[in-house]
Structure 1
Amino acid sequence: MNRRDAIMRVSTMMGGTLAAPWLTSMLSGCSNSPEEKQAILESFTPEVKNLLAEIAETIIPATDTPGAKEAKVQDYIADIVADCFNEKDRTAFFNGLNEFQKKANETYQKGFEQLEEAQRIEFLTKMEQEAKDYAEANKGNKEAPAHIFRTLKGLTLTGYFTSEPGATKALTYVHIPGKYQGCIPLEKGQKAWAT
């Protein structure tokens, strides 16, 4: 299976939560040189990575399965932005992340990382509604960048469910699945299949 097919399957599995600009960037391929990638990765300071880790962990918290932090989703997000986002999408990503943090500060007088769990959930719920409203207002406008929450949620879900902890502990994983069987009923309480 090639990268393009894998991305299309994951995006379908995630119910279309992936932002269109991000998906377009992924399908168009990587164009950054190793030097450019390193310069972009340096933009992901420890503070930025910590913010991404806390957002991702709020979206997919650790329960009886590992959370997004254990899957190192923040590193995945940094790699995807550095490898696959064009300059316009990278700028929109960092501007959106700054706006995200600014809104958290305006709402709670502290950054997202310092919020209590209930406040984080409340804030992300508001951001999700804002993202839906933004998408509706910009329907048909292909020049409008994706809302930062849709981008973060899409990258978090993809990063988590394609990571080793996400695929092997949150989903049912068979290392060597054998022959293809297109229709296998799930048993009650069974996790979705990773393979």
Structure 2
Amino acid sequence: MTRRDALSRVSLMLGGTIIGSEIFLYGCKPDTVQLSTVEFTPTNIAFLDEVGETILPTTASSPGAKAAEIGEFMKVIVTDCYEKQDQEIFLEGIGKLNEASNAKYSKDFMKLSAEEKTEFLTALDQEANEYNKTKENGAPNHYFSMMKQLTLWGYFSSEVGATQALRYVETPGRWEGCIPYEKGDKAWAI
């Protein structure tokens, strides 16, 4: 084989690879880009912080969901990751939660006492659980289930939740298969 033959064969292989990869990658590109139409106001974010703080309140041993800026976390996940239908349900849920609070207590959720908020969200959680048990496939999600799931996910994956609410070892030294557990110990972060 001559040098000229070797170069032409190598260029043919590389050219085929480049053309082939373009055709392969073309199938991975979305036809259209859908941008979220969901708009969160500072009031909505403060509202979600308060809902999160009621679900995971500040205790003597760890800060609550407000310290993890859970409202901002929910905003990012809902706008960037949720399908359009779930985005709409989530935003409508903020209004529904406030309406239900007004119907039960004659005041907005933000104006309720800590005990009233806990009582109200506990009842709403039971309602959401019943809805989720009986919902058919393809039925929309319950707005409070989404809020609660995002609160738990956002809090325990935040720096505050992982390092202060859970036991955290930044750089574990080795794997230990059997660690004594005392009742009341925190769960491990990693």
* TM-score scaled by length of structure 2: 0.77
Q: Give the aligned length.
A: 158
Is 1:152 aligned to residue 131 of structure 2?
no
| Cross-structure match for 2:45 | 49
1:127-156 deviation per Cα after TM superposition (whole angstroms, max 9, x unaligned): 011112211221xx2221111111111110
Larger Rg computed on CA atoms: 2
Q: Which amino acid aligns with 1:89?
A: D
Residue type at the aligned position of 1:150: S
Gaps of at least 5 residues in structure 1 are 1-31
- CA drift of 1:183 comes to 3.7
Pairwise CA RMSD: 1.8
Gaps of 5+ in 2: 1-31
Is residue 76 from structure 1 mapped to residue 73 from structure 2 by the alignment? Answer: yes
Greater relative contact order (CA < 8 Å, ≥ 6 in sequence):
1
Tell me which amino acid in the other structure corresponds to 1:96. Answer: G
Letter in 1 for 2:84: E
The one-letter amino acid of 1:109's match is S
Find the counterpart in structure 2 of residue 136 from structure 1: 133
Amino acid of the structure 2 residue aligned with 1:153: K
Correspondence list, 1:51-130, <5 A: 51-64=47-60, 65-130=62-127
Distance in 1, Cα, partners of 2:162 & 2:49: 19
SS in 2 for 1:190: coil
Shift of 1:188: 4.1
What SS is found at the alignment partner of 1:144?
A: coil
Cα separation, 1, equivalents of 2:142 and 2:95: 12
